[in-house]
């Protein structure tokens, strides 16, 4: 088969040293491969310019501090934050959500309050809320999905009450690729006075995000899904929320003054960054943001949409394949093949040098709602092109022949 896409391929494969010729890497929703510019930024930081930040009186450390804070500014600009003081560096989205759960929900919510989640959330946007809900006597409600697998915002309008103090939703589903109408969800949350957190793990690499235009209260994402390093992620919050939140962890860097009589804390974002931070991770994330911005998210989105459309069209021609998610999903296609376990699909595709993810994708409640144990998932990035879709479809045709 030959796959054509409506847009010209981005032709970025050669930027990625860890993708060998002929390997279709279709697991970007799990983690993105790294462009050479990110590898170079990390190598340069450790190999040439390395020093600690915020403390050193020597020039090297002052320069590293400038670079670290420049990364924070790049993140702020990238997601439309008002100021870099609103950007807290964390290990990843998981840590960011735990931070908000403990420092905001853990201090603001009381027995009788409610949290609103959705059926498609990643476990990291479920479990931290369950932990805090149990500790504080708070209840959790779950939004259903529409028949085309989006978070049902009409149901949200019906279900939300003034008892709901927090709504936490995925901006783009890591399983279905469905894109949330984040502005509408925010307006609905705010109509009852609830705060809203958006999980941006799958959105920041795929669509333009502007937290001020959305109007949300908290936004979180992981650097490694945005072509950056692992171990670095971002919590953005409205400044008045960060100001009112107690520290997450105690230690160096997060203090104003320490004495055994009384310790006072630094203002945000330092208050939430105890210990020596992931300095080089922040520099790598900065390089990744520069890389993504140099291509442009509109171009990335158009490119991934064309690949998704081509994949869905080709797979819908195979009888035993069932597709999940809406047709306009962002960069992600989940599917099952009748009578074949997704792990077998993944193993056979691996023999064809096609890397996909098979399993529950850290979204077990969603699997239950879809009535499956697991799905196979292909997810695209800037390095993919029509040849990867062809390899995927060829591999799936082989799976169907083997299991006939
Ligand atoms: N939310 C979503 C939608 C995700 O896809 C992921 C990663 N699979 C996470 C949260 C958790 O991110 P991390 O493991 O990088 O903290």
pLDDT in tens, 78-110: 999 999 999 999 999 999 999 999 999 999 999
205 C-beta closer than 6 A to ligand 1:
no
In the numeric block, the tokens 């799905």 are attached to 375
Look up residue 202 and give its two tokens.
């799958």
Mutate to test the pocket of ligand 1, among 99, 124, 209 (most ligand atoms within 8 A of CB): 124
27 C-beta closer than 6 A to ligand 1:
no
Interval between CA 201 and ligand 1 midpoint (Å): 6
C-alpha span between 333 and 316 (Å, rounded)? 12
The pLDDT score that the predictor gives to residue 404 is: 82
The pLDDT score that the predictor gives to residue 6 is: 55
C-alpha span between 387 and 376 (Å, rounded)? 19
Whether the predicted pLDDT of 27 surpasses 70: yes
Ligand 1 atom with minimal separation from the 124 CA: 10
Q: Which helix (H) or strand (E) element contains residue 43?
A: helix 36-47
161 burial level (CB within 10 Å; 0-12, 13-18, 19+): exposed
202 C-beta closer than 6 A to ligand 1:
yes
The pLDDT score that the predictor gives to residue 3 is: 61
Interval between CA 60 and ligand 1 midpoint (Å): 34
**Minimum CA distance residue for ligand 1 atom 5:** 174
Whether the predicted pLDDT of 2 surpasses 80: no
Interval between CA 222 and ligand 1 midpoint (Å): 7
Please enumerate, as own/partner, the contacts of 10-15 that have beta carbons within 8 Å and a separation of 24 or more.
Answer: 10/295, 10/299, 10/300, 10/303, 10/382, 10/383, 10/385, 11/385, 12/295, 12/382, 12/383, 13/383, 13/385, 15/291, 15/382, 15/383
Looking at residues 232-248, what average pLDDT do you find?
98
381 C-beta closer than 6 A to ligand 1:
no
Looking at residues 324-330, what average pLDDT do you find?
96
**Minimum CA distance residue for ligand 1 atom 6:** 201
Task: Please give the mean pLDDT across all residues of the chain.
Answer: 96
The pLDDT score that the predictor gives to residue 346 is: 98
Where does the pLDDT of residue 39 fall: very low under 50, low under 70, confident under 90, or very high at 90 and above?
Answer: very high
Looking at residues 130-137, what average pLDDT do you find?
97
Q: What is the pLDDT of residues 108-131, one digit of tens each?
A: 999 999 999 999 999 999 999 999
Q: What is the pLDDT of residues 169-208, one digit of tens each?
A: 999 999 999 999 999 999 999 999 999 999 999 999 999 9
Whether the predicted pLDDT of 5 surpasses 70: no
Q: Which helix (H) or strand (E) element contains residue 135?
A: helix 127-136
| Contact yes or no for 86/242 (Cβ under 8 A) | yes
Where does the pLDDT of residue 269 fall: very low under 50, low under 70, confident under 90, or very high at 90 and above?
Answer: very high
Among 53, 87, 40, 27, which Cα is nearest to 349's? Answer: 27
The pLDDT score that the predictor gives to residue 52 is: 95
The structure's pTM equals: 0.97
**Minimum CA distance residue for ligand 1 atom 8:** 30
Give me the interface pTM, i.e. the ipTM.
0.99
Where does the pLDDT of residue 7 fall: very low under 50, low under 70, confident under 90, or very high at 90 and above?
Answer: low
Q: What is the pLDDT of residues 363-374, one digit of tens each?
A: 999 999 999 999
Interval between CA 318 and ligand 1 midpoint (Å): 31
Ligand 1 atom with minimal separation from the 91 CA: 16
170 C-beta closer than 6 A to ligand 1:
yes
Where does the pLDDT of residue 334 fall: very low under 50, low under 70, confident under 90, or very high at 90 and above?
Answer: very high
The pLDDT score that the predictor gives to residue 227 is: 98
The pLDDT score that the predictor gives to residue 10 is: 83
Ligand 1 atom with minimal separation from the 361 CA: 8
The pLDDT score that the predictor gives to residue 9 is: 67
Task: Indicate if 362 belongs to the active site.
Answer: yes
| Contact yes or no for 120/258 (Cβ under 8 A) | no
Q: What is the pLDDT of residues 289-309, one digit of tens each?
A: 999 999 999 999 999 999 999
Looking at residues 257-278, what average pLDDT do you find?
97
**Minimum CA distance residue for ligand 1 atom 12:** 93
Look up residue 253 and give its two tokens.
């860097």
Among 110, 166, 113, 115, which Cα is nearest to 136's? Answer: 110
Interval between CA 225 and ligand 1 midpoint (Å): 8
**Minimum CA distance residue for ligand 1 atom 4:** 201
Eight-class DSSP state of 102: I
């Amino acid at each position: 088969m030959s796959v054509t896409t409506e847009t010209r391929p981005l032709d970025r494969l050669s930027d990625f040293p860890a993708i060998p010729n002929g390997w279709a890497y279709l697991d970007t929703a799990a983690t993105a491969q790294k462009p050479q510019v990110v590898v170079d930024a990390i190598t340069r930081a450790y190999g040439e310019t390395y020093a600690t930040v915020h403390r050193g009186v020597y020039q090297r450390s002052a320069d590293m501090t400038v670079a670290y804070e420049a990364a924070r500014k790049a993140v702020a600009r990238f997601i439309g934050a008002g100021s870099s003081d609103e950007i807290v560096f964390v290990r990843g989205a998981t840590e960011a959500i735990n931070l908000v759960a403990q420092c905001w929900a853990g201090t603001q919510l009381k027995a009788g309050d409610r949290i609103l989640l959705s059926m498609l959330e990643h476990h990291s946007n479920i479990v931290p809320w369950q932990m805090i809900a149990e500790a504080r006597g708070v209840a959790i409600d779950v939004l259903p999905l529409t028949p085309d697998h989006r978070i049902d915002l009409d149901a949200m309008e019906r279900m939300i009450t003034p008892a709901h103090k927090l709504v936490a939703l995925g901006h783009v589903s890591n399983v279905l690729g469905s894109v949330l109408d984040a502005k509408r969800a925010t307006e609905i949350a705010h109509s009852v006075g609830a705060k809203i957190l958006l999980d941006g793990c799958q959105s920041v690499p795929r669509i333009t995000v502007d937290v001020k235009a959305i109007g949300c209260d908290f936004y979180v994402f992981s650097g490694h899904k945005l072509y950056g390093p692992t171990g670095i992620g971002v919590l953005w919050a409205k400044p008045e929320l960060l100001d009112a939140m107690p520290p997450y962890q105690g230690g160096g860097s997060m203090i104003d003054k320490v004495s055994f009589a009384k310790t006072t804390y630094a203002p945000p974002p330092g208050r939430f960054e105890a210990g020596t931070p992931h300095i080089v991770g922040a520099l790598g994330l900065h390089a990744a943001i520069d890389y993504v911005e140099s291509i442009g998210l509109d171009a990335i989105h158009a490119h991934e949409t064309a690949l998704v459309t081509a994949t869905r069209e080709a797979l819908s021609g195979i009888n035993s394949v069932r597709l999940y998610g809406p047709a306009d999903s962002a960069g992600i296609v989940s599917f099952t093949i009748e009578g074949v376990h997704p792990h077998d699909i993944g193993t056979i595709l691996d023999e064809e040098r096609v890397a996909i993810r098979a399993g529950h994708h850290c979204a077990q409640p969603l699997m239950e709602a879809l009535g499956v144990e697991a799905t196979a998932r292909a997810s695209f990035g800037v390095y993919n092109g029509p040849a990867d879709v062809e390899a995927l479809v060829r591999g799936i045709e082989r799976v169907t022949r083997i299991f006939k």
